[in-house]
Amino acid sequence: MRKLALDDEIKRCRRCDGMNIAGVTASAPGYGCLTSPVALVGQSLCEKCMKTQIPFTEGSGGLIDEGIRGAGQQKKNLFISNAVHCHPPKNRASQQHEIVNCSPYLHRELEIVRPRLVITLGRDAERVLRFFYPRARISGHPFEAPRGRLSKDVPFIYNAKHPSWILRQHDDELEDEYVSNLAAAIRWSFGDARRKAE
């Protein structure tokens, strides 16, 4: 019920000038399972995602989909959102005030889901998650599962590059490594993460 009310707030939000205009800069709330042990957080909503209302639809989202499949999961089993829930005009980078205005929505989503692992996809997401969870344990690239007991209140964070940056490198080996690390992180969250929290 809380998530439905939050989704409605996101869809009606007018905090940023020129944002959340249907078909141009529309928003989409986070998508997926509200009890998922992992959340993926991107930078902002892509153009194709405005129609589907699902973050990381097609394009660079193909690498995300491969990582999810490699972990033996389906997209609907994860929770996926963005630092900025709207699509910035002409795919430009999100502006600082847009990130600040939108971050409370993401924080509320994560408070509902309470994932054990958050995978950040890009610098904006990384900065926002560091602000939310300054005491979080963090893995950079390549993914390394944490050792020892984890806090029940603070997720483990894996900072990954944004998949669009990976695709722009035109390097098959880099893409394979990226997908493999995503799969390893997602597998860990669904398996070892729960056991270590008990």
How far from each other are the two terminal CA atoms of the chain, in whole angstroms? 28
**pLDDT truncated to tens, each residue of the chain (198 aa)?**
799 999 999 999 999 999 999 999 999 999 999 999 999 999 999 999 999 999 999 999 999 999 999 999 999 999 999 999 999 998 899 999 999 999 999 999 999 999 999 999 999 999 999 999 999 999 998 999 999 888 889 999 999 999 999 999 999 999 999 999 999 999 999 995 454 444
For residues 85 and 55, give the distance between their C-alpha atoms in angstroms, rounded to a whole number: 9
Task: Based on DSSP, count helices (H) and strands (E) in the chain, helices before strands.
Answer: 8, 6
Domain boundaries, the chain: 2-197
CATH fold for domain 2-197: Uracil-DNA Glycosylase, subunit E (3.40.470)
* Of 37, 125, 36, nearest in space to 76 by CA: 36
Q: Sheet of 138-139: strands edge to edge?
A: 31-32, 79-84, 38-44, 117-121, 156-160, 138-139
For residues 102 and 85, give the distance between their C-alpha atoms in angstroms, rounded to a whole number: 7
Strand, helix or coil at 83? strand
